[in-house]
């Protein structure tokens, strides 16, 4: 493979590369970004490759207008974009340019469907592919600095150097198991903006399940979360540097009436109180003034009893044994929340699970009948040679 280690910083050079990549069926994409001290990721480098050639694009040197041809490539339905562990890259593309790479194929999701492990690293997956070793000692590098050393550029380009070949190898194995469409469906979830960002409403809903709030303090929590999200976005610093989740829950529960009361809370920076304390107290007063009809409804907390909890623990082990048997990650089959709902509500029909969104049609087809049999007491686990194995009871 030809590795072009000079950064692409000229729009004419970029256009030539894009024209070349438009002729490909598959291209590899990766990004380098920094976000330890920011709310949004700071894009520092874009790596792109075909099966025969790779380049490094410098987003710090090219503006949005100059990158337009590359954006067309990212959105082209004729070219499949190969990524590994796509969430971070897709999030970075979306927060910077309001687009995602589509259609996409995530080699980490494909690997999970083939039993190579959950969230397997590219380094480990390439060893399984062709005993390829890539460097992974610069993961904490400050990629925004310029110029990038030769070592850094070689490191960055290695992330896409073998990605197209790896994807083709995985796709062949997926076709053999009739799981290729499943892999594309899992990959596509990261193309949707709603999957890349948590809204203030979603965060409030999750925090409200702590069980410590009333409808009125929940209303305040919603306002506090919106305030924190707006502040974090505006000043571009991590949420926790403004106020962590527990602090917001405690603030909502206590509903402080004055700046002096607000200063007693740990977890919110004194400077935030100094600058925005009056606004926070106003949020408290507003929540206190709401009529009963204006208060939000608290989310339902789905708790299962002790017996169902023990059944869920067993079914989790049973599911993992099935996953091992089918050489697939249990994560892509069923999650614990879905299992607990099936058990507590006694929902034993796989087709209903699919209708309710508890599992995918692919998972239902693969392990639905086995899970149903276990829930009905017709299947279980036995120990054979220090290993757990699934067994089915003989029919009467």
- For 12-51, how does the pLDDT look when each residue is reduced to its tens digit (9 = 90+)? 999 999 999 999 999 999 999 998 889 999 999 999 999 9
The per-residue pLDDT for range 173-230, each reduced to its tens digit, is 999 999 999 999 999 999 999 999 889 999 999 999 998 999 999 999 999 999 999 9
Pick from 353, 349, 376: nearest CA to 363: 353
Lowest mean pLDDT segment, chosen from 85-99, 257-271, 341-355:
257-271
Write down all domains in the chain, each with its CATH number in brackets. Answer: 2-196 (3.30.420.10), 204-294 (1.10.150.80), 306-392 (1.10.150)
Chain segment 342-380, per-residue pLDDT in tens? 999 999 999 999 999 999 999 999 999 999 999 999 999
pLDDT on residue 36: 85
φ, ψ of residue 359 to 5 degrees: the values are -155, 165
Q: What was the pLDDT predicted at 236?
A: 93
Own/partner pairs for 303-310, CB < 8 Å, 24+ apart?
Answer: 304/340, 304/343, 304/344, 305/344, 308/340, 308/343, 308/344, 309/340
pTM score above 0.85: yes
Average pLDDT in the 129-158 region?
Answer: 87
Residues 231-259 pLDDT 10s: 999 999 999 899 999 999 999 999 999 99
Distance CA 321, CA 333 (A): 12
pLDDT confidence of 137, banded at 50, 70, 90? Answer: low
């Amino acid at each position: 493979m030809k590795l072009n280690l000079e950064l692409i910083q000229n729009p004419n050079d970029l256009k030539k590369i894009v024209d070349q990549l438009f002729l490909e069926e598959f291209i590899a994409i990766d990004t380098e970004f920094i976000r330890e001290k920011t709310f949004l990721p700071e894009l520092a480098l874009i790596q792109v490759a075909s099966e025969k050639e790779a380049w490094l694009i410098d987003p710090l040197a090219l503006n949005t207008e100059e990158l337009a041809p590359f954006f067309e490539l990212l959105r082209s339905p004729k070219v499949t974009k190969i990524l590994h562990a796509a969430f971070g890259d897709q999030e970075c593309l979306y927060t910077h340019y309001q687009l995602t790479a589509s259609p996409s194929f995530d080699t980490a999701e494909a690997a999970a469907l083939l039993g190579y492990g959950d969230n397997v690293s590219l380094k480990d997956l390439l060893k399984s592919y062709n005993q390829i070793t890539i460097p992974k000692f610069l993961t904490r590098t400050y990629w925004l600095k310029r110029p990038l050393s030769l070592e850094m550029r070689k490191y960055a380009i290695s992330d896409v150097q073998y990605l197209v070949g790896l994807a083709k190898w995985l796709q062949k194995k997926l076709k053999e198991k009739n799981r290729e469409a499943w892999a594309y469906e899992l990959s596509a979830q990261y193309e949707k903006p709603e999957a890349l960002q948590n809204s203030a409403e979603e965060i409030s809903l999750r925090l409200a399940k702590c069980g410590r709030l009333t409808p009125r303090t929940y209303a305040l929590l919603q306002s506090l979360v919106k305030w924190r999200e707006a502040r974090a976005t505006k000043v571009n610093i991590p949420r926790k540097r403004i106020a962590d989740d527990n602090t917001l829950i405690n603030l909502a529960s206590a509903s402080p009436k004055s700046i002096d009361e607000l200063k007693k809370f740990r977890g919110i920076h004194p400077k935030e109180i100094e600058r925005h304390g009056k606004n926070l107290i106003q949020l408290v007063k507003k929540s206190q003034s709401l009529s009963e009809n204006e208060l939000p409804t608290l989310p339902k907390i789905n708790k299962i009893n002790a017996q169902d909890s023990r059944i869920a623990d067993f079914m989790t082990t049973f599911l993992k044994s099935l996953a091992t048997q089918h050489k697939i990650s249990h994560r892509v089959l069923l999650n614990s929340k879905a299992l607990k709902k099936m058990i507590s509500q006694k929902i034993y029909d796989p087709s209903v699970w699919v209708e309710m969104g508890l599992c995918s049609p692919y998972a239902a087809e693969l392990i639905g009948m086995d899970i149903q049999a276990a829930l009905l007491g017709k299947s279980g686990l036995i120990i054979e040679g220090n290993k757990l194995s699934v067994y089915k009871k003989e029919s009467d």
